[in-house]
Amino acid sequence: MIRIAAVGDVHVDKDVVGRYRPALEELPDRADALLVAGDLTRHGTVEEARCFAEEFGGLSVPVVVVLGNHDHQSDLQDDVTSVLTDTGITVLECSATVLEINGHRLGIAGAKGFGGGFAGACASNFGEREMKDFVGHTEEIAGRLGEALRSVEADALVALTHYAPIPETLAGEPLEIYAFLGCYQLGQAIDTAPTSLALHGHAHHGSERGRTPGGVPVRNVAHPVIKQAYNVYQLLSESVDADLVSV
Amino acid sequence: MTSQIDLEAEIQRLLTEHDRIAEQGITVHRRENAVVLGGEVESAQRRDEICRQITARYPEIEITCDIGITRAQAPSEVEEIS
């Protein structure tokens, strides 16, 4: 059995330091790893990254994150990544890692993702250079996420993105902005591998649960959606047990 | 003159692009003479800053703030994925 804690869109800055810590200190009793689905900061500054590292680092469980669009706002994503990795946090961008947990191999492949939309209302790689750049970025990230997922040999495989891979977990958001919240190509990439669970954030007014066309469970763990410090998901269960977490 | 729909769009962009706010998850709806703000943010300071900045930019508009602070307690349940 593996238990994964997950949250996204925590947008840490000075005013948030200390808010999550009491719940995070309980993590070793509740989960084997913590995954954060992007938008770690407000503006993607080095100072905010240090605040995130202070709040979410130094835990006794591994912490694996992807960046979100907010973490790119200051064009300092490489510096933000360095601050996080220096404090022991694993940052994935079209890459994967494997954690050894309870005798099992937990594979995690992650990417920020991008927009583009979903069946019936998606952007095409056509027309102006700006439009082709937009959709080209979507296609490149999704393709590389698929490669990262397929590169992992694991007992359980998790896809971690900021943008959404399916429209079902966007329900509650205005339809008009779905194309800025995710893209179907991420769902396609997730379905090319034996993915156990896909986690994303970004859609603050979205819904929690859905599945890819290939049947992979998808969870929107944006903080305003789950309304607690993190959710806990159990994989590789020996028996069905959805009771309260024993602490 | 700014129309009602344009006003909502301008406030939405202010909330996202202002360097002291950077919030994309706030809803903005016009109700007769007031603008109603919804959604959740990570701290009371951020909620108060949103109202302060909108009032500074549009002093003639009454702001009704229904923005909440997202709770950050530990969970009590686990979901089994199958």
In this prediction, residue B44 carries a pLDDT of 96
What domains can you pick out in chain B, each with its CATH number?
4-69 (3.30.70.1350)
Chain B residues closer than 8 Å to A217 by CB:
81-82
**Chain A residues inside the 8 Å CB shell of B40:** 204, 223-224
Fold classification of A2-235 is Purple Acid Phosphatase; chain A, domain 2 (3.60.21)
Query: What sign does the CA torsion over A168, A115, B38, A24 have?
Result: positive
* 8 Å CB contact of B77 and A205: no
| A92 and A108 Cβ atoms separated by less than 8 Å | yes
Interchain CB distance below 8 Å, A242 and B77: yes
In the structure, what pLDDT confidence band is assigned to residue B4 with cuts at 50, 70 and 90? low
Amino acid at A187: G
| DSSP code string of A142-153 | HHHHHHHHHT--
Per domain, the residue ranges of chain A are 2-235
Residue of A247, A238, A221 whose CA lies nearest to A161: A221
Higher-scoring residue by pLDDT: A9, B9: A9
Judged by CB atoms closer than 8 Å, whether chains meet at B73 and A228 is answered as: yes
The answer to whether residues A98 and A106 touch, using CB atoms and an 8 Å cutoff, is yes
Residues of chain A with pLDDT under 70: 239-247
**Length of chain B as a residue count:** 82
According to the model, what pLDDT value does residue B1 have? Answer: 46
Residues in A closer than 8 angstroms to B22, CB to CB, are: 11, 42-43, 70, 73
B32 pLDDT more than 90: no
Residue whose pair of structure tokens reads 């040999």 in the numeric block = A153
The 8-class DSSP code of residue B74 comes to P
- Asked whether the beta carbons of residue B78 and residue A245 sit closer than 8 angstroms, the reply is yes
Determine the pLDDT at residue B2. Answer: 57
Q: Indicate the pTM of the whole model.
A: 0.94
Chain A residues whose C-beta sits inside 8 Å of any chain B C-beta: 3, 9-12, 15-16, 19-20, 22-23, 26, 30, 42-43, 70, 73, 196-197, 204-205, 217, 223-224, 227-235, 237, 240-245
The tens digit of pLDDT for each residue in A51-97 reads 999 999 999 999 999 999 999 999 999 999 999 999 999 999 999 99
Q: Where are the beta strands (DSSP E) in A86-168?
A: 90-91, 95-101, 104-111, 117-118, 121-122, 156-161
Report chain A residues whose CB lies below 8 A from the CB of B82: 217, 237, 240
Among B45, B49, B66, B80, the residue to mutate for chain A (most A Cβ within 10 A): B80
Mean pLDDT in residue range B45-61: 94
